């Protein structure tokens, strides 16, 4: 007997940003394995009889290891259950989706992927800015701020990150941002390049801080809040 797994992208936190397909799968699920940022009001759409299992990972907090999460997915699916793996933002962006897909494929378990609103899009919308602009910001790049050990990745292409024609979005960025900023300044990025720190995106306690790369690096070198956040930088980040 083999069940079916739906990888459901929950968006950045506001339940109104869920897709209709996401709501449908949550309502039919017999088990929901959810990230921390996908909990709260979003789970109100889940089947009231479903098993709800928290498997989220948060920086600086005890978290289940990835192999354990993947095995839970396999174990639930092998009972024949309809399983939802509820991931924050868009599940395909820095969500370790591929590792969980691989585990299912090794056991012959079928699945689907339901896309969602990434926190990058939600942050830009909250700040009332686009992510692209003709002739000014011709491309968007998404970059992780830390590797599997929590350190700044050593293989980042710094020249790409200093491209003045790009909007750059840093995910999980706050702890390593001061170090990254210094590397970018040394590679040619303007110290007064506009930057936007967006925390608790789309939630009632959302905060948006418009600043510069240098000022933000100084701020985060002194104090880092526990709120989940992303950083956007580039010319569009200063648009009021």
Which residue of the set 87, 172, 174, 213 is catalytic?
A: 172
Quote the pLDDT of residue 82: 97
**Catalytically annotated residue among 24, 36, 57, 183:** 57
Yes or no: say if 30 and 108 are a contact pair by the CB < 8 Å rule: no
- Give the confidence band of 44 by pLDDT, cuts at 50, 70, 90: very high
pLDDT at 150: 87
* CA neighbor of 12 nearest in space, from 93, 85, 84, 66: 93
pLDDT of residue 166: 96
Question: Whole-model pTM?
Answer: 0.91
pLDDT digits (tens, 9 = 90+) for 114-147: 999 999 999 999 999 999 999 889 999 999 999 8
Query: How many CA atoms, within 13 angstroms, populate the side-chain half-sphere of residue 58?
Result: 16
Count of Cβ atoms closer than 10 Å to residue 189 Cβ: 22
pLDDT of residue 222: 95
Cα separation, 64 vs 232, whole angstroms:
29
pLDDT at 230: 97
Concerning whether 57 is annotated as a catalytic residue, the answer is yes
1 is catalytic: no
pLDDT digits (tens, 9 = 90+) for 57-110: 655 555 568 889 999 999 999 999 999 999 999 999 998 999 999 999 999 999
What rounded mean pLDDT belongs to the chain? 93
Whether the predicted pLDDT of 25 surpasses 90: yes
pLDDT at 39: 86
For residue 201, what pLDDT is reported?
96
- Kindly list the strands in the beta sheet with 194-199, ordered across the sheet, starting from the edge strand earlier in the chain: 139-144, 166-171, 229-233, 194-199, 207-212
| 7-11, 34-38, 41-45, 186-190: segment of lowest average pLDDT | 34-38
pLDDT value of position 238: 79
Give the phi and the psi of residue 99 in degrees, each rounded to 5: -65, -40
Inter-residue contact 109 to 6 (CB < 8 Å): no
**Percentage of residues in the chain having pLDDT higher than 70:** 95
Residue 57 contacts residue 64 (beta carbons within 8 Å): yes
Listing DSSP states for 72-141 in one string gives HHHHHHHTT-EEEEEESB-TTSSS-HHHHHHHHHHTT-EEEEE----HHHHHHHHTT--S-BTTTB-EEE
pLDDT at 83: 98
Averaged pLDDT for residues 41-65: 82
Query: CA-based angle 68:71:73, to the nearest 5?
Result: 115
* Each residue's pLDDT tens digit, 164-197: 999 999 999 999 999 999 999 999 999 999 999 9
Concerning whether 35 is annotated as a catalytic residue, the answer is yes
User: What residue ranges define each of the domains in the chain, with the CATH number in brackets?
Assistant: 4-114 (3.40.1010.10), 119-238 (3.30.950.10)
- Rounded to 5 degrees, what angle do the CA atoms 79, 83, 88 make? 150
What single DSSP character describes residue 235? G
């Amino acid at each position: 007997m083999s069940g079916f797994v739906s990888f459901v992208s929950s968006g950045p936190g506001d339940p109104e940003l869920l897709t209709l397909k996401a709501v449908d799968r949550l309502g039919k699920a017999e088990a929901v394995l959810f990230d921390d940022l996908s909990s709260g009001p979003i789970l109100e759409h889940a089947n009231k009889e479903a098993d709800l299992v928290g498997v989220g990972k948060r920086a600086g907090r005890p978290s289940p290891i990835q192999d354990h999460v993947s095995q839970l997915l396999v174990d639930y699916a092998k009972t024949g259950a309809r399983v939802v793996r509820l991931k924050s933002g868009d599940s395909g962006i820095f969500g370790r989706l591929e590792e969980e897909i691989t585990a299912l494929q090794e056991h012959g378990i079928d699945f689907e992927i339901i896309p969602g609103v990434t926190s990058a899009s939600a942050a830009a919308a909250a700040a009332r800015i686009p992510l692209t602009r003709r002739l000014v910001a011709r491309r968007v790049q998404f970059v992780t701020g830390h590797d599997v050990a929590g350190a700044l990745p050593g293989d980042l292409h710094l020249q790409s990150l200093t491209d003045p024609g790009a909007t750059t979005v840093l995910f999980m960025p706050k702890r390593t941002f001061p170090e990254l900023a210094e590397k970018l300044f040394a590679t040619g990025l303007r110290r007064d390049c506009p930057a936007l720190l967006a925390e608790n995106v789309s939630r009632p306690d959302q905060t948006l801080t418009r600043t510069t790369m240098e000022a933000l690096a100084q701020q985060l070198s002194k104090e880092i809040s526990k709120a989940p956040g992303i950083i956007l930088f580039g010319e569009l980040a200063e648009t009021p």
